[in-house]
Amino acid sequence: MTAQVAFLFPGQGSQAVGMGVDAYEQSAAAKHVFAAFDAALDFPLSQLCFHGPEDTLRSTINAQPAIVAVSLAYLAAFQEALSPQASSWSFPLIPSYTAGHSVGECAALVVAGALDLSGIAYLVRERGRLMHEEEVACSGGMVAVIGLDEQTLQEICQEATIQAKEALETSPAKHPGLGTVVVANYNAPGQIVLSGEQSALTIASDMAKARGARKVLPLSVSGAFHSPVMVPAVEPLAHSIAQANLRNATTPIISNITAGPLVNAAELRKELAEQIATSVQWTHTIEYLQSVGVTTFFEIGPGKALAGMIKRIVKGVTILNVGSMHEVEQAVNQVRNLELLS
């Protein structure tokens, strides 16, 4: 084990039709992951990842388990390539820390030994289902704002929420997310995501443009994640988490909510339930990992969004992507060049 490695997993929006198919075709360990998810969910999630259709894959109830399955499949393929003689689900390279961006935290649970494949398949599907229900109950979305600081955007959210609630003349009893917008993801300096009910989000987006944002970009998600819109899903998700055989983690998981390490099962249960309606502290997560000596970051799963964020947050670190079999090969070579295996 090395004290310099962190495994990171991407969140919703990273999905794409065709993801994971090369791992399925070339890696027995990856195929095992897809088979475990298909069996646990009792439907061919793998085929949805490989062939779509895109609209079905993008739906929250499908996108969340799909992203986690593909991330874990590439992890399995990577570990298998490091040690072909190892068992189908083992870790020749053990990270000192792991973390996931939003739903990516579910993949981190498996790496940390807190939950097995079938357990996480069921749990992430429930997470997606419950969050999808709130999407339907209260229309909303998310936008990435480039070029404004945290304080300015927090002020914009407060002002936009006041204006939206006055216009809607709504009471919290109808839905806690009505007329609200908040900072959802502190992704990197100058790259912050807002989330909320649609009328409030529109007002906040217009305000951000007026105050000098370089870009305001709608995200490829269908709901207002990490905002009060998701509050009604927290309790039923906590109930589902309570039924899962979740154990203490053997590798610290960095919390989305606090950006601090978690290993205790009770704390992990609380984190998993509450984070769907709470801001993701990704900037502080990467800063914390650097402060405890992590110098090599692996982004494992579809896309390269996390790598881009890390480059904006810290300097002088190594960032490796593991989101295709070509990248698996490259990462294996880098592991050996950097002498990361004990």
Low-confidence ranges of the chain (pLDDT < 70): 1-3, 86-89, 170-173, 342
The C-alpha angle 235, 247, 270, rounded to 5 degrees, equals 25
Question: What per-residue confidence (pLDDT) applies to 174?
Answer: 80
Q: Which CATH superfamily, name and number, covers 139-223? A: Malonyl-CoA ACP transacylase, ACP-binding (3.30.70.250)
Q: Decide if 226 contacts 275 (C-beta within 8 A).
A: yes
226 is catalytic: yes
Residues counted in the chain: 342
Note the pLDDT of residue 1.
42
The answer to whether residues 149 and 190 touch, using CB atoms and an 8 Å cutoff, is yes
Which one from 46, 226, 227, 284 is the annotated catalytic residue?
Answer: 226
Burial class (CB in 10 A: 0-12, 13-18, 19+), 148: buried
Q: Where are the domains of the chain?
A: 5-134+230-337, 139-223
Q: What is the pLDDT of residue 76?
A: 96
- Determine contact, residues 157/194, Cβ cutoff 8 Å: yes
CA dist 141 and 135 (Å) reads 9
CATH class held by domain 5-134+230-337: alpha beta
Helix (H, G, I), strand (E, B) or coil at 20: coil
pLDDT at position 322 is 98
pLDDT digits (tens, 9 = 90+) for 257-285: 999 999 999 999 999 999 999 999 999 99
Catalytic residue among 27, 46, 71, 102: 102
Find how far residue 210's CA is from the centre of its chain.
30
pLDDT of residue 85: 75
pTM of the model: 0.95
Measured from the Cβ of residue 270, the count of other Cβ atoms closer than 10 Å reads: 16
